[in-house]
A and B are shown apart, each in its own frame.
Chain A
Amino acid sequence: GAVVSQHPSRVICKSGTSVKIECRSLDFQATTMFWYRQFPKQSLMLMATSNEGSKATYEQGVEKDKFLINHASLTLSTLTVTSAHPEDSSFYICSAPGPTAFTDTQYFGPGTRLTVL
């Protein structure tokens, strides 16, 4: 089946540093990927839509200069949290629509837990 991976699964960084999170579709191509964040005991909130070969589309209220998204290839999207601060600590999850026969289903990565000290 369609598998989406994320790396790293956990990261701890100091305030002011930048952190890159990778999202890969392992056995299918994804021209579009989605990035969500989830605060403890809360639901997932869509941050942005990552588009291969073009700029990402950000949801209202999400700072595009803080959360840099690059869709480098048909199987890789990266989210870089720039100048991270403690309030950026969260669980970041990516997803991708499935391969051709399953494009009506999103497949989710296992998530990356970011802790900013």
Chain B
Amino acid sequence: AQSVTQLDSHVSVSEGTPVLLRCNYSSSYSPSLFWYVQHPNKGLQLLLKYTSAATLVKGINGFEAEFKKSETSFHLTKPSAHMSDAAEYFCVVSDGGYNKLIFGAGTRLAVHP
């Protein structure tokens, strides 16, 4: 069975400082991994995805994530946080058919001036 664990339920950073949102996964085979962002009262938006190509994945809005098989991790990073980055972030694994998605518990990112 596949699962994802987001290690932090809340992360707070100052504007202009780096962001790190941690995610570990469990999968019996090579997974497809995603990061989605959910802003209040808005739909989920795909930030980036890993589908067995390059291990360092670049997404929208300056976010990137690195797939590390040895550590079963897929942490999300951004060099410099912006106030508009404040939102809920979900690490997601696919069951291999790119259809059924399994969501992590989410990490709420707060960005302070």
Contact between B98 and A104, CB atoms less than 8 A apart: yes
Looking at B18-26, B43-51, B62-70, B72-80, the stretch in contact with chain A turns out to be: B43-51
Q: A44-B90, A46-B101, A104-B98 are in contact. Are A93 and B49 (CB under 8 A)?
A: no
Q: Give bound CA distance, A111 to B51, whole Å.
A: 26
Once the chains bind, are A104 and B49 in contact (CB under 8 Å)?
A: yes
Q: For B101, give the chain A residue with the smallest CB separation.
A: A106
How many residues of A sit at the interface, in one of the four size bands?
A: 20 to 34
> Across the interface, do B90 and A43 meet the contact criterion of CB distance under 8 Å?
yes
Contacts of A4 in B (CB 8 A): 43
Question: What is the count of residue pairs linking A and B with beta-carbon distances less than 8 angstroms?
Answer: 52
* Pair B99/A32 contact, Cβ less than 8 Å: yes
A18 CB-CB contact with B under 8 Å: no
A34 touches B105 (CB 8 A): no
Q: Chain B interface residue count: which class?
A: 20 to 34
A105 and B46 contact, CB distance less than 8 A: yes
B99 touches A97 (CB 8 A): yes
For A45, the chain B residues whose CB sits under 8 A away are 103
A residues within 8 A CB of B102?
46
- Cross-chain contact of A34 among B41, B90, B101 (Cβ < 8 A): B101
Pair A109/B43 contact, Cβ less than 8 Å: yes
Q: Which of B43, B49, B100, B101 has the most CB of A within 10 A?
A: B43
- With A44-B103, A110-B42 known, 16 other A-B pairs at CB within 8 A are A4-B43, A43-B106, A44-B90, A44-B101, A45-B103, A46-B101, A97-B99, A103-B98, A104-B32, A104-B51, A105-B46, A106-B101, A107-B46, A108-B44, A109-B43, A110-B43
- Residue numbers of A with Cβ under 8 A of B are 4, 32, 34, 42-46, 49, 93, 95, 97, 103-111
The chain B residues found within 8 Å of chain A, CB to CB, are 32, 34, 36, 41-46, 49, 51, 90, 94, 98-106
